[in-house]
Amino acid sequence: MGGACGTVGRELGPPQATSIKIETVAPNPLNTWRHSLLLDYEHAVCTWSAAMPIRERPTRYGAAAQFFHWVIAALIVTQFALGWTGHGLPVGAHKLTVLARHKSFGMTVLMLAVLRLLWRSTHPPPALPAGMSRIERGAARATHGAFYVLLFAMPLTGWMMSSAKNYSVSWFGLFTWPNLISKSEAAFNFLRATHEALSDVLCAIAVLHMLAAFKHHFWNRDNVLKRMLPFTDSGRPG
Amino acid sequence: MKLTLDRQALRAAGVCAAVVAAILICATAFPGSSATSYTADPAASRLEFTGIQAGAPFKAVFHKFTAAIDFSPDALADAHFDVEISLSSVDSMDGDRDSTMRGADLFDVTHFPTAHYVTHGGPIKTATGYAASGALTLHGITKEVPIEFTFAATAAGAKLMGSAKLKRLDFGVGQGDWKSTEGVGNEVSVAFSLALNPGPSR
C-alpha cells in the first residue's frame, strides 16, 4: 500500500506522461483534472487509508469501488425480486407496497450510480491481466460499459414510467421525486416495455459477468475476481 | 255589532300589514341579516382531494357534485352548506387507480354512490377566514369533519375556498388489504374552490 500511496499522481500522470501505468488509464478529457484532484487529495487519503485503501491499488479495487459494486449488486438482486413479485400481483394494496419499495430501491441505485460514475471517472480500475486477448478485453469493456448504461437506464425508465402513469415516486416515504414527464398512457406502455426489456438485458449481462469472473478465477487462476472481493488479500499481481 | 267586528277585523288587518311591511323594510334595508343562497357553478368549481399512495401524494378531483351554500358574513348563524358528491366521478388522471377507488373495497360506488356533507351550527370567524363544523356521510358512515374556508364576494356571486382533513379508515374506505396504510395512507386532505352563483338552495 505504501508503494501505491505517494505514487498515484505519478502513475496516472498527465495525459502525455509515459509512465508504465498509463496504459491502465483510458485517455479522456478528465485526465488533467483527475491528475490535479488526485494530487490535491493524495496526502489526506493516503494517511487515512493505509489499512483498507479507499482508492484502487494497481492490483485490486479500493474500498469505495468495492462498496459501490457489492451494494449495487445486492440492490439489483433485490430489485429483480421486488419487480417480478410486484409484476405478478393483482392491482391492490400489496402490489402498491411492493412496487413502492422497488421504486425507493431503484432511486437509491440511481443515486449510487451517479456517485459511482463520478468515482470511476476519477479512479481508473486496476489493469486487466496481461494475458487477456483483445477480444476478451473488448468484451470486458463492453460488458462494464453496458452495466453503467443500465445503472442509469433502468431507474430512469422506471421513474419515467411512474411519471407517465401519474404515480409519483417516493423515496421510502421521506420525499417525493418530481414527475419527469406528464401523464400519458402511450408513454407508460412504451416505457414499461422498455424497462422490462432492459431488465432482461441486465439479467443476461449479469450472468455473463459472473461467468467471466468465475472463468478468470477457476480457469485462468488470475486475481480478477479476488480483486473485487473485500477481506481477501489479492495483492499479488494478476 | 257588525260594525264593531268589521272595525276589529280592519284593525287586525292593519296591524298585520304593518308587521309585514316592517319585515319587508327590514329585509330590504339590512340584506345581510339573513344568509344569501348560492349554488356552485360546476364548470368553474373544483373539489379535489390528496391522498398518499406508495409514499407519494396523488391528487384526484370529483367532476360531479352539487353545492348549495347559504352564507353571509354578517349572518353567520344562518349559514348552511349542503354538498353532495358523485363518487364515481372521481378522476385521479389514471384509469386503473380510478376504477380501484370506485371498487368494492374502497368507495364501493355500487352501494354508496354519493358522499354528503352538511354543516351544522354557524361558522366562526378565524384569523384567516372561517371555520365550520359539519358531518360527512361517506361509505354509509357519518362522522364530524370540520372545514376551514374563506369567502369573497365576486362580480358573479361569491368565491368559497377551503380545506378539510379526514382519515379514510374512519369511514371504512379501505377494506381487505386496503385496511393497511402502508400502500395508501390514512390521511386525506380535501380542498375546494367553489364559484358561487346567487340562487336558491335545493
pLDDT tens-digit series, residues A185-234: 999 999 999 999 999 999 999 999 999 888 888 888 788 788 888 876 64
Is B55's CB within 8 Å of A170's CB? Answer: yes
Closest-CA distance of chain A to residue B143, Å: 25
Cβ atoms of residues A149 and A116 within 8 Å: no
* Residues of B at the A interface, defined by Cβ within 8 angstroms: 53-58, 92-97, 100, 176-178, 180, 182-184
Predicted confidence band at A28 (pLDDT cuts at 50, 70, 90)?
low
* Residues of A at the B interface, defined by Cβ within 8 angstroms: 91-97, 99-100, 103-104, 165-174, 176, 183, 185
Cα–Cα distance between B124 and B76 in angstroms, integer?
A: 7
Predicted confidence band at A59 (pLDDT cuts at 50, 70, 90)?
confident
So what's the pLDDT on residue A41?
A: 44
The answer to whether residue A50 scores a pLDDT higher than 70 is no
pLDDT tens-digit series, residues A83-100: 999 999 998 899 999 999
Q: A182-191 burial string, b = 16+ CB within 10 Å, else e?
A: eeeeebbeeb
Q: From A170, which residue of chain B is nearest by alpha-carbon distance?
A: B56
State the cell numbers at B88.
364515481
So what's the pLDDT on residue A131?
A: 83
CA geometry: angle at B40 spanning B35 and B43, to 5°? 160
Is A166's CB within 8 Å of B93's CB? Answer: yes
So what's the pLDDT on residue B125?
A: 96
- In this complex, the residue of B54, B94, B176 whose CB is nearest that of residue A170 is B54
CA geometry: angle at B87 spanning B92 and B144, to 5°? 105
Residue whose C-alpha cell reads 352539487 in the numeric block = B66
The answer to whether residue B16 scores a pLDDT higher than 70 is no
Predicted confidence band at B4 (pLDDT cuts at 50, 70, 90)?
low
State the cell numbers at A152.
442509469
pLDDT tens-digit series, residues B112-134: 999 999 999 999 999 999 999 99
CA atoms within 13 A on the CB side of B29: 6
Identity at B41, one-letter amino acid code: D
ipTM of the complex: 0.73
Closest C-alpha to B87, from B55, B117, B57, B132 = B117
pTM of the predicted protein model = 0.74
So what's the pLDDT on residue B118?
A: 97
